[in-house]
Structure 1
Amino acid sequence: MSKLDEKIAQYSKFMDDKGLKYDLDLLKAVTKGLGPSIYKRDAETVSGSDPKELATVKNNFLIKKLGLADGPKLDDAIAKVIDAIGKSERSKYRAVVYYMLAVEFGKESIYS
């Protein structure tokens, strides 16, 4: 099993454990799209309580990658995803957060 496959298995188990529904092919595509960052402990996760980190998710993923316009809708979606994963959950995997945001905005086609 490759390191990428191990990460995908880890993220899918995480989503299973949280009771979150997902499309494995899309999760694979999002994970692969994150490149080597998934192998760095700090970069692999998102801090749901750090405004700077949430701004990075908003600017680098939602606005630049998904092409969405800035606005309160983006902040609300991030908060919704953080709540769904669980605010107290320390390991909010970036691949899972990005996956859920892509689905939230109907932007799955970016990964096809």
Structure 2
Amino acid sequence: MGKRDDLIAKYAEDLQNKCGMTPDMDLLTKVTIGCGPAIYDADASVVAGSQPSELETVKNNFLIKKLGLADGPELMDAIDAVIETYGRSERSKYRAVVYYMLVKQFGKEGVYA
């Protein structure tokens, strides 16, 4: 197994243990690949859930640009719900896990088909 496979396994474990979800491994793999080299960078691989600027970046670069959603208050509500599900006190909120949950929440799995 390569480094990416190890990370995907770690993300799947987070989804199961911290978020109470059974991950769709195919989709999780595609979302992880979609994150690009960011998954290997200690800072870029996590989402700082308490930083408004970071949440804006997730909204603009992922929800609007990648998933093609229209801007509106429901986008921040969804990000907030995902952060809540992951656990606000959880220090390492992996970007791939947050993105995966957002894809599921908005039913945008087709983006990765």
TM-score range normalised by the length of the shorter chain: over 0.9
Matched position secondary structure for 1:47: coil
By how many angstroms is 1:2 displaced? 0.8
CA distance in 2, matches of 1:47, 1:20: 21
Aligned to 1:10: 10
Matched, 1:67 2:65: no
Match of residue 90 from structure 2:
89
Task: Flag structure 1 segments of 5+ consecutive residues without an equivalent.
Answer: none
Aligned to 1:30: 31
Please give the alpha-carbon distance, in whole angstroms, between the structure 1 residues aligned to 2:108 and 2:79: 15
Tell me the CA shift for residue 20 of structure 1: 2.1
Please, what is the CA RMSD of the aligned residues?
A: 0.7
Q: Distance in 2 between matches of 1:21 and 1:88?
A: 21
- Equivalent residues, number: 112
Q: Using the aligned pairs only, state the percent identity.
A: 62
Name structure 2 gaps, 5 residues minimum.
none
Alignment TM-score, normalising by the size of structure 2: 0.96
Moved over 3 A (4+): none
